[in-house]
Amino acid sequence: MNKKKLIILTGAGMSAESGISTFRDSGGLWEQYNVEDVASIEGWYRNPALVHQFYNARRKQLLTAQPNMGHCGLVELEEQYDVHIITQNVDNLHERAGSTKVLHLHGELMKVRSTRNESRIYELTPDNCEVDTDTRDEYGDPVRPHIVFFGEAVPMINPAIDLVEQADILVIIGTSLNVYPAAGLVQYAHRDTPIYLIDPKPVNAPTNRNIHFIVKGAGEGVAELKNILLKQ
């Protein structure tokens, strides 16, 4: 029998319990940095050294982090469901936990790509992941973070829409749903598709959908989700 498709959209809150800062919570990254300077395409053209510095710091933080109970719970759901994760996160904690199908909407922290040819993508290693304006690829071209900057297109949005359209169940975890086009994905779910939303705080969720709210952090919230799904 075919497994049901469980599509999961995750945001920064998914990794909060791993010690990675969210963006818009109090004390979050966008209180400490000017988003226009470090994460926009204009900022990159203006001062690439500063942008590299910001992502080097993110990588350093990621190297000290481990997947949390939430990430691990989603791996266990693969036994019963065809689980596809669509993440806005640029960390690799879903993969490190063991999830097998992960689509990164906003890029990947541990990758860089050529500034000349965007199809040349390079995986960084934990012991060699400091990048700066002098870093060159094997063709001698400078590299940039493999990150979707604000002001750039989101190349993975169409495959993500396809997944949400096929969802038998949709789960949203740890995203404030402030950033489009990711926040608009929910609208592609079929009207009858059950939607669960795990977040300890109130979220800007669409009001035209019947959403089951699990008002908990990712770890406890995924455990509760598993209980609910097992009873079905």
* Stretch 147-186: interaction string toward ligand APR, x if CB under 6 A: ---------------------------xxx-xx-------
Q: Could you give the residue numbers annotated as active site?
A: 106
Cα distance between residue 65 and residue 72, in whole Å: 14
28 binds ligand APR (CB under 6 A): yes
Which whole-number Å values give the CA distances from 134 to 13, 98, 140, 144, in the listed order? 34, 34, 10, 11
Using the contact rule CB under 6 A, the part of the chain among 19-27, 53-61, 159-167, 186-194 near ligand APR is 19-27
48 binds ligand APR (CB under 6 A): no
24 binds ligand APR (CB under 6 A): yes
Q: With respect to ligand APR, which residue has the nearer C-beta, 76 or 220?
A: 220
Cα distance between residue 69 and residue 74, in whole Å: 9
Token pair in block for residue 61: 């933080």
Q: With respect to ligand APR, which residue has the nearer C-beta, 114 or 175?
A: 175
Which residue reads 């949203």 in tokens?
A: 172
Cα distance between residue 126 and residue 60, in whole Å: 9
Total number of residues binding ligand APR (CB under 6 A)? 23
Q: Closest separation between CB of residue 11 and ligand APR, Å?
A: 3
- Report the residue from 60, 136, 190, 201 that binds ligand APR according to the rule CB under 6 A: 201
- Report the residue from 6, 18, 23, 73 that binds ligand APR according to the rule CB under 6 A: 23
Q: Which residues are CB-contacts of 210 (< 8 A; sequence separation ≥ 6)?
A: 195
Cα distance between residue 173 and residue 126, in whole Å: 27
123 strand-pairing partners: 111
Helix (H, G, I), strand (E, B) or coil at 109: strand
Q: With respect to ligand APR, which residue has the nearer C-beta, 5 or 106?
A: 106
Using the contact rule CB under 6 A, the part of the chain among 7-15, 57-65, 114-122, 134-142 near ligand APR is 7-15
Cα distance between residue 163 and residue 103, in whole Å: 10
145 binds ligand APR (CB under 6 A): no
8-state DSSP, 20: -
Which residue reads 């481990």 in tokens?
A: 66
Edge-to-edge strand list for the sheet holding 107-114? 121-123, 107-114, 143-147
Q: Closest separation between CB of residue 182 and ligand APR, Å?
A: 6
Q: With respect to ligand APR, which residue has the nearer C-beta, 108 or 199?
A: 199
Site of interaction with ligand APR (CB under 6 A): 11-13, 16-17, 22-25, 28, 88, 106, 174-176, 178-179, 199-201, 203, 217-218
